[in-house]
Amino acid sequence: MAQAEMTETGNGGPANRPTGSRVRSLLDRWRGDPGIWRRGIALAAVAVLLALLMSLHAQIPNRIGNLGSLTETFLPWLGIFIPVILVVALMRRSATALIALLVPAVIWLNLFGGLHTDKSGGGGDLTVATHNVNADNPDPQGTAKDVAASGADVLALQELPAGQVSTYEEALAGTYKYHSVQGTVGLWSKYPMSDTQPVNIRLGWTRAMRTTVTTPVGEVEVYVAHMPSVRVKLNSGFTANQRDNSADALGEAIAHEQHTRVVLLGDLNGTMNDRSLNAVTSQMRSTQGAAGNGFGFSWPAAFPMARIDQIMVKGIEPVSSWTLPRTDSDHLPIAARIKM
């Protein structure tokens, strides 16, 4: 009996059969299965619908609850359904579903596969960073010191409560010689700033500004902006109309900018895929898309699901882009190195 057991489970037995043999055995069973093409038709239809949703997202109307913008905000996450369909298709032994699954897989890779190649390089003339510090931040001084430690030459902060501005100013004074706070946004710089003024983004209060920073390699116009918040509500959908209007106003201001080199730092409360930010995104480049590695999600800090904080450039070459360590804010700070 013992000898028989050793023969069954020894080298070459079922327990230690080479992987190639197991795969061939599986394929043999599938070839002999008459239902392999009939099963999983509904699953294949789901895969095709997923492919259509990803490829035709720009055709989803915004008239009903801004559904198009909501889909585009979390568009990369549609890819999570691909491995789910794969597992179910394998369990169902459905060749039809597996073949259909190739369509959304190829589309997702075409849309986002390039983000997962490291495009960062060395060199550059200026390091910039931006952070929504959160008005309810329990440790503003610690947050300020954390982002200053990033080595940024120019640092933008958003959501600055009036009562805490002095705290941020004191914490950053040793690193940055120049700064300006306009409303709830501010900019700190190691280099001289001039012609600083608020930017009207149609809110009735100041949440955007611009200034000229004179660096050792020339002038650059820096915009800081914090777009209005968006919400997802059952009764009204994706409430983003106020943000959209502000994005249009910001895009107009940048389009009329006389300087050829422009940097935008801020919380846009929207992603690069969101069509409602086209007034801005159509004329500027995202440093993450051009010189980053991965999606660079920045919100929410506890489990980042979207990159709504942006560093964008015009007339400037991005060299590298990255996400900074978490602070006591609900956003992650982000930074980039640019070449003038």
17 in a domain, yes or no? no
Compute the average pLDDT of residues 112-139.
94
Q: 322 and 201 in one domain?
A: yes
Q: Round to whole Å and give the CA distance between 298 and 127.
A: 18
Tokens matching residue 129: 């960073």
Task: Convert the pLDDT of each residue in 167-213 to its tens digit.
Answer: 999 999 999 999 999 999 999 999 999 999 999 999 999 999 999 99
We report the CATH number of the domain holding residue 287 as 3.60.10.10
57 in a domain, yes or no? yes
Q: Which residue has the higher pLDDT, 121 or 155?
A: 155
Instruction: Decide which of 72, 98, 116 is a domain's last residue.
Output: 116
Q: Calculate helix-pair angle for 95-112, 41-55, nearest 10 degrees.
A: 10
247 in a domain, yes or no? yes
Q: 255 and 112 in one domain?
A: no
313 in a domain, yes or no? yes
262 in a domain, yes or no? yes
Q: 206 and 110 in one domain?
A: no
pLDDT score at 64 = 81
Q: 144 and 104 in one domain?
A: no
**SS3 category, 209:** strand
Q: 210 and 109 in one domain?
A: no
Q: Is the pLDDT of residue 84 over 90?
A: yes
Q: How many domains does the chain have?
A: 2
| Percent of the residues in the chain that have a pLDDT greater than 90, as a whole number | 79
Q: List all residues 6 or more positions away from 187 whose beta carbon is below 8 Å from its beta carbon.
A: 154, 155, 156, 157, 179, 180, 193, 196, 209, 211, 222, 224, 265
Q: 276 and 135 in one domain?
A: yes
Task: Convert the pLDDT of each residue in 40-68 to its tens digit.
Answer: 999 999 999 999 999 999 999 988 888 89
4 in a domain, yes or no? no
Angle at Cα 254 formed by Cα 251 and Cα 258, nearest 5°? Answer: 155
| Domain residue limits at 45 | 33-116
Instruction: Decide which of 87, 116, 145 is a domain's last residue.
Output: 116
Reported confidence tier of residue 10, pLDDT bands at 50, 70, 90: very low
2 in a domain, yes or no? no
Q: Is the pLDDT of residue 285 over 90?
A: yes
6 in a domain, yes or no? no
Q: 205 and 66 in one domain?
A: no
Task: Convert the pLDDT of each residue in 200-246 to its tens digit.
Answer: 999 999 999 999 999 999 999 999 999 998 877 655 567 788 999 99
Q: 139 and 176 in one domain?
A: yes
pLDDT score at 65 = 81
Q: Is the pLDDT of residue 72 over 70?
A: yes
pTM: 0.87
Instruction: Decide which of 64, 90, 116 is a domain's last residue.
Output: 116
State the burial class of residue 196 (Cβ atoms within 10 Å of its Cβ: 0-12, 13-18, 19+). Answer: middle
**SS3 category, 241:** helix
Average pLDDT over all residues of the chain: 91
Most confident of 121-125, 231-235, 262-266: 262-266
